[in-house]
Each structure stands twice: as structure tokens, then as C-alpha cells.
């Protein structure tokens, strides 16, 4: 019953990837909370989660490699496994962005807190939703849900540009706040990048769901 | 003679990846030149190169997929193909960083030029060397050369941190220069990120060259 075993392994791969997605999403959300509330202990916890994410990335890659090496996956499964490898990389990079935010929260601990005319918390929540939706789209093979992630990315890009415009103004008006303003700009860019990775994941899901169909139809035509 | 055909396809995949690497490296080097010399036409050219990089990424992915779908690559070839998929993603992201730098060069065109106490040109050249070495390591399956890329990454990280410290100082002393200083900080981060991708490539090469050996030995032991 090698095929049954194969499908069990495929299910295990999906489970592992979903567990990793949960870690990445959690890391990102906690890093924003740590920055907003200046919670150094929480920021340090994010750095711990990142280690778990890196370990999970290696495991997912190895599982995908084993599946490719020992089985001869059919077109749709092959495309799924290749999507998993790419999504795995994007999730790890979301973890990197969370780490960047957490490190900045730790470094800012010694600086006076100032009010900045931006809403990082809101931006972080939106990016969290994007990651959750992208993963749900994968789980349910839902290309339409994937598309909703792409639409949200435009909004995050706009927010990121607005943050930059606002904070250059702050830097010029209140130079003593430059360092805090710069940190906020960079955290905004970290979030924008995490949103890009969520977008990549959604695109991979759409490609997997729709592309595999297209490919399957093509191979029927091409077969000779 | 399907195996001969397979090795021809593998060689074609490698060639295509190397062509893509040349584009990414060129985009990065030209983007830095465009920023340093404020050459808007050159910056626009980088945006054109990025389109070619994106097209090449899709082609490489499809070639890799075809190889996996139609052949049953042996362990060492399988690992090479999976490395190509990952390296492909890193090269595309180097193109993204180059685009970020080029866009900033275009936007800065209307701002007065000021002297900043940093050397983006030098940093850009070092990152160019890293990309070139990482690709050469792939071409020659040279893990040792790959390791030299990892060592250079530490230097780029140091340079990036120094740029930030210097330019926060500029922002506080000369608020009217905040926007130009911020651009330089972000370009420095773009370069640091491109260096990270070169490092990822080098790590993939090392993993491919050494990991495949380890794996091969393991599979001899594990076989039952």
C-alpha cells in the first residue's frame, strides 16, 4: 500500500507546514505587541519562537525532499510539494521580519517613549489577517481566498508609504525624535515585507490550485 | 537515451539560472551606480532588467518542475534541482532589492544632493562580489568558495549598522537632510538584504555539495 503511505506523508507535510505557519503568524503578532507595549520579555520570547521556526523550516524541507526522492508524485501532488517548499521559505522570512521588529523593540527600551502619528498596531493586525488568510487558502485549496490576500497587500503598501511621509515630517520638526521615528519607519517596512511574503504564499496557493488544473489539462492535450 | 536527454536538460537549467544570476547581479550593481551618480535613466534601466529577472524566474521554475515531473532524478540531481528552485527565489529577491534602490534613486532626483559620511558605493561593490562568488560556487560546486561568502556577510552587517548610527546623527544635527539620510539608510538595508540572499545562495550550494554526500552515505546505511 505505498500510495496510502504516500498520502499519509503528504498529510503530515501539510500539518507540519500549518504548524510552522502558526508559529510565524504568532511571532509577527507578538513582535508588534512587544514594540507597541515596549515589552522586552515578550520581544525575547519572539526570538525564541524564531528558533522554532528555523527548526521547522528544515524539517519541512527534509520531509518534502523525502517525498520527492522516494515517491514519484503525480503532477498535482508534485506541484503541491513544490508550493510547500516555497511557502516554507516565505514563512521563515515572516519569522525574520518578526525578529527584526522584536530586536528593535528591545533596543528601543532605553529610549524615551514618544507619541508618533501612525498606527503600527493596526498595520500589524492587518498583516496578521493576511498571513492567516493565506494559510487558510492553502488549507482549503481556496484560490478566491488567496486573491483577497493580494487585495490587502495594496492597502499595506499605502499604509507603509503614509508612515514614511508622516515620520520624515516628524524627523524634520523634532530631530530629537529621529531615532524613534526611524525605528517606526523600519518596523513599518518589516510589516510591509511580511505582507509581501503572505502575498507570495497566496500566489503560490492560487498557482497550485489553478495552475495544477491548467497543467493537468495541458498534459492531456500534449500526451502523445 | 533518456538519461542523456536528462543531463542535457539539467545543463540547460544550470545555464538559465546562471543567466538569471548575471541579470540580478547587474541590476544590483547598476542600481547602486544610479543612486550614487543620480542617473535616472540608469535607474529606469534597472526597472527594465527586473522585468527580465521576473520572466527568467518563471522559466527556471517551470524547467525545474518539468525535470521533476518527467524524470525521476537521483538523490544528488534531486537536491541540485531543489537548490536551483531556492537559489532562483533568492536571485529574484536580489532583483527586488535592486528595484528598491533604483526607485529611490528616481525619487531622490528632485532633492538637493548632500554629502553623507558613508560609502554606499563600497558597500554595493562588496555585495556584488558576494553575489558573483555565490554563483561561481554553484557553477564549480565549490563549498569552500561558498564559505567565503558567509564571512563577507558579517562585514556587510557591520557596515549597515555603522551607516545607521552615522545617519541618525546626521538627522539630529541637520534635520533638513533627514529625507536624504533616510534614503541612504534604506538603501544600506536593501544592500544588507541582498547580501543575505547571496548568503542563502552560498548556503544552498554548500548544502547541495556537502549535504548530498552526507545524504548519499546515510542512504547506504539506512537501506533495508
**Ranges in chain A, pLDDT < 50:** 1, 213-224
User: Residues of B with CB below 8 A from A186's CB?
Assistant: 189
> Using CA atoms, how far apart are residues A117 and B137, in angstroms rounded to an integer?
48
CATH code (residue B78): 1.20.58.220
> Using CA atoms, how far apart are residues B103 and B40, in angstroms rounded to an integer?
9
What's the whole-number average pLDDT of chain B? 90
> Using CA atoms, how far apart are residues A24 and B18, in angstroms rounded to an integer?
32
Q: How confident is the model at residue B75 (pLDDT cuts 50, 70, 90)?
A: confident
For residue A190, the enclosing domain spans 2-222
Q: How far is A58 from chain B (nearest CA, A)?
A: 12
Mean pLDDT in residue range B15-33: 96
In B38-142, alpha helices (H): 40-70, 75-108, 120-139
> Using CA atoms, how far apart are residues B106 and B200, in angstroms rounded to an integer?
29
State the best of B68, B79, B101 to mutate against chain A, taking most chain A CBs within 10 Å. B68
For residue A164, what pLDDT is reported?
95
Q: Scanning every residue of chain B, which has its alpha carbon at the shortest distance from the alpha carbon of A212? A: B65
Mean pLDDT in residue range B183-204: 96
Q: What percent of chain B has pLDDT over 70?
A: 92
Total structural domains in chain B?
Answer: 1
B105 grid coordinates? 534613486
User: Residues of A with CB below 8 A from B164's CB?
Assistant: 182
Give the B-side interface with A, CB within 8 Å.
65, 68-69, 72, 75, 78-79, 82, 85-86, 89, 164, 168, 171-173, 175-176, 178-179, 182, 185-186, 189
B182 grid coordinates? 533616510
Ramachandran region of residue A113, left (φ > 0), alpha (ψ -120 to 50) or beta?
beta
For residue B2, what pLDDT is reported?
57
For residue B212, what pLDDT is reported?
52
- Residues ≥6 apart with Cβ < 8 Å to A132: A25
Segment A11-23, tens digit of pLDDT? 999 999 999 999 9
Amino acid at each position: 500500500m505505498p500510495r496510502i503511505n504516500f498520502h499519509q506523508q503528504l498529510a503530515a507535510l501539510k500539518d507540519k507546514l500549518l504548524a510552522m505557519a502558526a508559529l510565524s503568524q504568532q511571532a509577527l503578532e507578538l513582535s508588534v505587541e512587544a514594540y507597541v507595549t515596549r515589552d522586552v520579555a515578550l520581544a525575547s520570547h519572539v526570538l525564541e519562537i524564531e528558533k522554532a521556526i528555523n527548526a521547522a523550516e528544515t524539517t519541512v524541507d527534509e520531509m518534502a525532499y523525502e517525498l520527492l526522492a522516494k515517491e514519484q508524485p503525480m503532477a498535482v501532488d508534485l506541484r503541491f510539494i513544490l508550493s510547500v517548499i516555497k511557502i516554507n521559505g516565505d514563512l521563515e522570512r515572516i519569522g525574520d521580519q518578526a525578529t527584526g521588529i522584536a530586536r528593535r523593540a528591545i533596543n528601543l527600551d532605553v529610549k524615551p517613549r514618544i507619541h508618533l502619528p501612525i498606527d503600527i498596531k493596526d498595520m500589524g493586525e492587518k498583516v496578521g489577517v493576511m498571513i492567516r488568510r493565506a494559510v487558510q487558502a492553502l488549507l482549503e485549496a481556496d484560490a478566491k481566498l488567496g486573491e483577497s490576500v493580494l487585495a490587502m497587500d495594496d492597502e499595506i503598501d499605502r499604509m507603509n508609504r503614509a508612515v514614511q511621509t508622516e515620520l520624515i515630517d516628524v524627523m524634520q520638526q523634532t530631530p530629537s525624535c529621529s531615532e524613534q521615528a526611524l525605528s517606526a519607519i523600519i518596523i513599518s517596512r518589516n510589516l510591509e515585507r511580511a505582507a509581501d511574503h503572505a502575498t507570495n504564499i497566496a500566489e503560490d496557493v492560487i498557482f497550485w490550485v489553478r495552475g495544477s488544473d491548467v497543467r493537468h489539462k495541458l498534459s492531456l492535450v500534449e500526451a502523445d
